[in-house]
């Protein structure tokens, strides 16, 4: 039976992969050494045309459904892996049918949570990882996405200027709606709480979590973080007619959280003495979109916030506040950001993505300047950081070569240049 390939831009190299062999038995020559999270299906990372893709063996109808869901989430701008293709009609050498395969693009510089926790994270770092999952769930719910199997295992994490960003990696149970009911959200939260508590208990049992940290308490805190963020983004706010400044204040608070407000509903009482406002359209990525517009850099939200702060400091230091913003941003990009990130030795460039590297350089410059008692240039900082910090970090192959499968986890349901 011929292969059936569903893809928007099929890569001819797909035909060279051993589709007649069960995915579990694929030869090492095709595989990339990346850590895999927990999955109820066989998942392998495969080298294809100079890039890495994730291949998941799954029933054909489920593969097509997940492929479609991930495409829609991508169009909605939601943080999820990018679907590439579905390969169905597979048979082995004896003509026996094999399950279909869903192909997604590997999310560079991302790790499953077990690879992160295998490094025995400090409690505060662990909290930031878990906060990222709460933010992801809020974003999906705002977009009308019922996840259905919320867990750390179904999530990938990328470093984001000292914090983390979370991406949905398994949309097998996800459903897309115009708007979620409170019951649907609560059901997702119930699933999330149980799965996350179980995953953290297993980490604790394996010695990868501090003994004085209660997994149930951490799971409760994630739910609390979700509820606070959801309320800030969606709850109506009532105030007196003379306090109209609070409309702008609400928008500013949402922007500080990283969300743009596309539309507000404003209503008055019958007597006209009070106003009530409620955000109607809230989109994540406020700082990332602004940075992309100004510089063309497509980075995570907190990275964008940090880079914009440096751009603002550059603007103020050169007294260019009254000049065209795009022109100043272009000068910052070509004289500061690009020369510094390109100044990293080639053999060290896979250790951190450029935006995260720039963030760490800014942190390192603050440290060196405090020690020296004067401002240290970025060029000096780069030399010191490269020698003392970056060179000691494991490169991508080493980090991604952690054998996370051995961790016992149960499968879930002033500016100076």
**CATH number of the domain within which 86 lies:** 3.30.200.120
SS3 state of residue 183: helix
What φ, ψ does residue 8 adopt, rounded to 5°? -75, -40
Contact predicate 332/314, CB 8 Å = yes
How does the average pLDDT of the chain come out, rounded?
84
One domain for residues 159 and 215: yes
Structure tokens at 343: 């100044």
> What is the total residue count of the chain?
417
Q: Last residue of some domain: 214, 234, 254?
A: 234
One domain for residues 368 and 320: yes
One domain for residues 218 and 269: no
Q: Span 303-311, mean pLDDT?
A: 91
Contact predicate 141/174, CB 8 Å = no
- Can you say whether the dihedral through the CA atoms of 35, 41, 47, 49 is positive or negative? negative
Q: What is the pLDDT of residues 235-284, one digit of tens each?
A: 888 877 777 677 878 888 888 877 877 777 878 876 667 777 777 767 77
Q: Where are the alpha helices (DSSP H) in 97-181?
A: 113-117, 123-142
Residue 374 lies in a domain: yes
**pLDDT for res 192:** 94
One domain for residues 225 and 241: no
**pLDDT for res 121:** 59
Above 90 in pLDDT, residue 81? Answer: yes
Looking up tokens 């409690």 gives 123
SS3 state of residue 54: strand
**pLDDT for res 156:** 92
**pLDDT for res 216:** 86
**pLDDT for res 332:** 94
Contact predicate 42/21, CB 8 Å = no
Residue 405 lies in a domain: no
Count the Cβ atoms, other than its own, within 10 Å of residue 220.
14
Contact predicate 381/344, CB 8 Å = no
Above 80 in pLDDT, residue 168? Answer: yes
Residue 123 lies in a domain: yes
One domain for residues 246 and 184: no
SS3 state of residue 164: strand
One domain for residues 210 and 254: no
One domain for residues 43 and 100: yes
Q: Span 220-236, mean pLDDT?
A: 89
**pLDDT for res 176:** 96
Residue 298 lies in a domain: no
**Domain of 124: which CATH number?**
1.10.510.10
Domain count, the chain: 4
What φ, ψ does residue 67 adopt, rounded to 5°? -60, -45
Residue 31 lies in a domain: yes
Above 60 in pLDDT, residue 105? Answer: yes
Which segments within 188-241 are labelled E, that is strand?
A: 237-240
Instruction: Indicate the pLDDT class of residue 120, thresholds 50, 70 and 90.
Output: low
Residue 393 lies in a domain: yes
**pLDDT for res 411:** 38
Q: What are the residues facing 282 on neighbouring strands?
A: 261
Instruction: Indicate the pLDDT class of residue 36, thresholds 50, 70 and 90.
Output: low
Contact predicate 155/136, CB 8 Å = yes
Cα 370 to Cα 383: distance, rounded to the nearest angstrom: 17
Q: What is the pLDDT of residues 352-409, one digit of tens each?
A: 889 999 999 999 998 899 888 888 888 999 999 998 988 887 654 434 443 444 434 3
**pLDDT for res 394:** 65
Instruction: Indicate the pLDDT class of residue 96, thresholds 50, 70 and 90.
Output: very high
Structure tokens at 15: 């035909």
Minimum mean pLDDT range among 124-128, 165-169, 251-255 = 124-128
Looking up tokens 């020296």 gives 372
The percent of residues in the chain predicted with pLDDT above 70, rounded, is 88
Instruction: Indicate the pLDDT class of residue 63, thresholds 50, 70 and 90.
Output: very high
Contact predicate 137/147, CB 8 Å = yes
One domain for residues 95 and 20: yes
Q: Last residue of some domain: 90, 106, 122?
A: 106
Cα 56 to Cα 40: distance, rounded to the nearest angstrom: 10
Residue 242 lies in a domain: yes
Q: Span 158-184, mean pLDDT?
A: 91
What φ, ψ does residue 335 adopt, rounded to 5°? -105, -20
What secondary structure letter does DSSP report for 410?
A: P
One domain for residues 332 and 394: yes
Higher-confidence position of 74 and 125: 74
**pLDDT for res 171:** 93
Question: Which class for 138: exposed (0-12), middle (13-18), buried (19 or more C-beta within 10 A)?
Answer: buried
Q: Last residue of some domain: 45, 74, 106?
A: 106
Distant-in-sequence, close-in-space partners of 382: CB < 8 Å, separation ≥ 6: 340, 343, 344, 361
Element (H, E) at 325: helix 325-332
By residue range, what is the domain housing residue 346? 312-398
Cα 216 to Cα 313: distance, rounded to the nearest angstrom: 43
The CA angle 105-106-107, to the nearest 5 degrees, is: 110
One domain for residues 321 and 257: no
One domain for residues 116 and 95: no
pTM equals: 0.76
One domain for residues 334 and 224: no
Question: Which class for 108: exposed (0-12), middle (13-18), buried (19 or more C-beta within 10 A)?
Answer: exposed
Residue 118 lies in a domain: yes
Instruction: Indicate the pLDDT class of residue 222, thresholds 50, 70 and 90.
Output: confident
What secondary structure letter does DSSP report for 152?
A: S
Residue of 349, 410, 336 lying closest to 379 (CA atoms)? 336
């Amino acid at each position: 039976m011929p292969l059936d390939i569903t893809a928007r831009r099929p890569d001819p190299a797909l035909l060279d992969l051993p589709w007649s062999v069960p995915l579990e038995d694929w030869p090492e020559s095709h595989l990339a050494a990346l850590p895999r999270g927990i999955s109820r299906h066989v998942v392998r990372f495969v080298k294809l045309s100079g890039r890495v893709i994730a291949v998941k063996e799954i029933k054909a109808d489920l593969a097509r459904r997940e492929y479609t869901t991930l495409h829609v989430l991508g169009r909605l701008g939601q943080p999820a892996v990018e679907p590439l293709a579905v390969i169905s009609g597979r048979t082995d050498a004896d003509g026996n049918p094999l399950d279909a395969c869903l192909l997604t693009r590997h999310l560079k510089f991302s790790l499953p949570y077990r690879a992160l926790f295998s490094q025995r994270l400090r409690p505060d770092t662990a909290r930031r990882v878990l906060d990222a999952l709460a933010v992801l769930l809020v974003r999906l719910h705002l977009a009308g996405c019922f996840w259905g199997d919320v867990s750390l295992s179904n999530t990938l994490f990328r470093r984001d200027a000292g914090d983390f960003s979370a991406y949905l990696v398994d949309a097998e149970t996800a459903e897309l709606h115009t708007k979620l009911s409170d019951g649907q959200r609560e059901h997702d939260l119930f699933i999330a709480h149980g799965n996350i508590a179980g995953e953290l208990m297993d980490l604790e049992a394996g010695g990868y979590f501090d003994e004085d940290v209660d997994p149930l308490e951490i799971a409760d805190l994630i739910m609390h973080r979700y509820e606070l963020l959801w309320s800030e983004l969606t709850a109506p706010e009532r105030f007196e007619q003379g306090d109209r400044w609070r409309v702008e204040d609400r928008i500013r608070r949402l922007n500080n959280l990283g969300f743009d407000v596309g539309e507000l509903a404003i209503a008055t009482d019958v007597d006209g003495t009070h106003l009530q406002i409620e955000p109607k359209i809230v989109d994540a990525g406020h700082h990332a979109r602004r940075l992309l517009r100004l510089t063309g850099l497509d980075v995570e939200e907190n990275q964008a916030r940090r880079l914009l702060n440096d751009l603002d400091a550059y603007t103020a230091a050169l007294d260019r506040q009254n000049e065209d913003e795009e022109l100043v941003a272009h000068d910052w990009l070509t004289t500061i950001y690009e020369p510094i990130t390109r100044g990293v030795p080639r053999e060290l460039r896979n250790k951190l993505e450029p935006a995260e590297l720039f963030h760490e350089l800014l942190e390192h410059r603050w440290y060196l300047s405090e020690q020296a008692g004067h401002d240290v240039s970025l060029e000096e900082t780069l030399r010191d950081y490269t020698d003392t910090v970056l060179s000691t970090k494991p490169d991508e192959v080493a980090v991604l070569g952690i054998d996370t499968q051995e961790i016992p986890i149960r499968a879930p349901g002033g500016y100076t240049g």
